[in-house]
Amino acid sequence: MNLKEPLYLVTIADCGSITKAARQLGVTQPALSSYLCGIEANLGFPLFERRPTRLVPTYLGEVYLEKARKILALGREFEEQVARVVSGYQGRIRVGIPLRRSPYLIPSAMKVFQGYYPNIQVTLEERNQAELLNLLEKNQLDVLLCNMATAASGLRITRLYRDVVLFVVHGEHTLCHRSEYRAGFPYPWIDLKLFQDELFFLQHPEQSLRHLSDLILEESGVKPSKVQLIRNIETAAQMAANGLGLSFSLESYLWHMHFVHQPKVFCTGTQPVYAEFSAVYREDIVMPDYIWRFIEIIRELMGMGFTGGFSQTYSPFLRDSHKVKS
């Protein structure tokens, strides 16, 4: 199936530059420029406006590109179906995942997945969530694994795990005895107002955990008088464990942290707050069965909790399952 024309035009649109698109396609810049001019001449109208810094699709260019992307999606679906019949499930998955989760989740998932599909190549992009979303929207990823509760236009979500936000405190903090069990909370609950005047280690405003932490602080009626910003979530948790302040973390992050001084962790606020760990993908793409199997393996691993040292230590407090059912 020859899809050269839609592929070339979509690549030019995604790159915004003939030079960048030619490099990505493995052709020369003059050849690609001549190819585009020939297509526009045959159509009788321009597909792009030539601006000083980039090429921008015209209105009719946008119409063309919408159809071209659908044609490419159908072409990929056809090729994947042929591969399943002829080559015994040969193909690839392009996975995006933030750096925080990748080291402990991807190796375990790959070991299981390759047992089912040894001929499927898995390529990995490890970046921040904003960059990964951009790659997904440009169809340079098949699936993005991240904390996301609602999908933007053109995307769909399969929720995999409800990751509870926990308040991290030094293990011998004098206020730990003030905790209590409350129905509906998966960990012991403590009143955040007790810690109003202490130092809070919080993430930067653009980080997803910071949004959740701010929600808990607001619901609790607490405005910390002392805040230090720390981008690395494990660094913040380790600082709290060493009695240097307080922090928040997701439950699954704590599973894979190794503490010299074991902290105490609590739920707080008016109700449990969760990060929705999800698989995100484009709604215009028909994904083959092996991608769905990879997503299901991720769901199963998150549901198991990896039985790390932290989860074993706190297992008596795990009263709810946060695995999202299919």
Verify that 206 and 72 share a domain, yes or no: no
What pLDDT score was predicted for residue 84? 63
Cα distances from 287 to residues 10, 151, 273, 280, in angstroms, run: 20, 17, 32, 12
206 has pLDDT over 70: yes
In tens, the pLDDT along 178-204 reads 999 999 999 999 999 999 999 999 999
Residues 141 and 74 grouped into a single domain? no
**What pTM value is reported for the model?**
0.67
Domain that holds residue 283: 89-326
* pLDDT tens, residue by residue, 113-124: 998 888 888 999
Answer whether residue 258 shows pLDDT above 70: yes
Q: How many domains does the chain have?
A: 2
Q: How far is CA 319 from the centre of its chain?
A: 27
pLDDT at residue 83, rounded to an integer:
64
Look up the CATH number of the domain holding residue 68: 1.10.10.10
Do 144 and 35 share a structural domain? no
Q: Does 292 lie in the same domain as 177?
A: yes
CA-to-CA distance for 52 and 16, rounded, in angstroms?
Answer: 11
Half-sphere exposure of 298 (CA within 13 A, CB side): 25
Indicate if the alpha-carbon torsion angle 283, 289, 291, 292 is positive or negative: positive
- Looking at the structure, tell me whether residues 46 and 104 fall in a common domain: no
